Amino acid sequence: MNLAPASNEWVLKPRVSRDPALRLFCFPHAGGGASLYNSWTDDLPPSIEVCPVQLPGRENLRQRAPYSQLWPLIDELLSVLREYLNLPFAFYGHSMGALVGFELTRRLRQLLLPQPSHLFVSSYCAPQLAQRTTTLHELPDAEFLLRVQELQGIPEAVLANAELIELFSPLLRADFALCESYTYSHAKPLECAISSFGGTDDKRISAEELAAWRVQTCSGFKMRLFPGNHFFLQSSKHLLLRVIRQELRATLRRSPRAG
C-alpha cells in the first residue's frame, strides 16, 4: 500500500481510502474553504482519494492569517504536500484555486518533483492573458463587497448572513489581493493534460478565457461549460464530477500505478 498520513491541518480527507489508486487534491476559491469538497466522495469511487486542501484564514485554519501573495503560499504548500505525492495525483482548483494549482504544478516541475497527471481548472481565466487592471482589494469595505457581489464572487449562502459577511470580508480581500498581485511569467507548457471548466452564466470568466488554457499544456486539453454561474461546481456538482471521474479513470488506464 502507498498510504500517506490520514490527514493534517492542511490536507483533509473526508474518506480515507484503504488502497487508493490516485489522489485528487482540491483547492478552494477566494473566500472558500476545504469543506466545499467534502461531499465529492459521494460521486467518486474509493480508488480516487479526495484530498481537500485547506488554506490559512478559513475553517480549521481560521486563526492563521490568510496569504495575500501567491508565492509564499506555494512554498508552504510544497512543504505540506510532499509526503502525499507517493501516488499518482491530480489537482482541481476553482477560481483562485485554479491559479494555485497551476503555479504549484510549475513549481513541482521546476524542483523535479512528481507532477499531477491531470490539472483541472475552473472559473479562472488562462494565466497568460493580459492582467486585469482593477484592484478590488484596495476598495473601501462597502464598495469592495458590492463589486465582488456584482461579479458573482460571493456564494449566496454567505450573502444571506450578515455575520458571515463580516467574517468573510477580510479573508476575501486577502484572496483577491493574492490574485490581483499575481504576475505571469512565461515557461514551457506543462506535460500534464488540462481540463478547463466554466459556468454558462458566469459574468466574470468568458469561454474564450477558458479556452486560452490550451497553450499551457503540450498534452491533452478539453474545455467544457456547465449550467450555472461562477459557482457552477455547486449547482452542477454531479455533472461536473461525472466528467472528472471519466477523465481520471482514463488517466489511470494510461499511467502505471506508482509502486
According to DSSP, the β-strands at 193-199 and 48-52 are unpaired
Which residue is catalytic, options 7, 35, 79, 95? 95
Residue given cell 502505471 in the structure block: 256
> How far separated are the first and last CA of the chain, in Å rounded?
8
Q: Is 95 a catalytic residue?
A: yes
- CA pair distance 54, 28, nearest whole angstrom: 8
How many C-beta neighbours within 10 Å does residue 35 have? 15
Picking from 234, 223, 259, 254, the residue whose alpha carbon sits closest to that of residue 36 is 234
- CA pair distance 31, 172, nearest whole angstrom: 5
Q: Give the contacts of 62 (CB within 8 A, at least 6 positions apart).
A: none
Sign of CA dihedral 13, 229, 227, 97: negative
Q: In what order do the strands lie in the sheet with 89-94?
A: 48-52, 22-27, 89-94, 118-122, 193-199, 221-226
* Helix axes 70-81 and 96-110, enclosed angle (nearest 10): 60
Active-site amino acid positions: 95
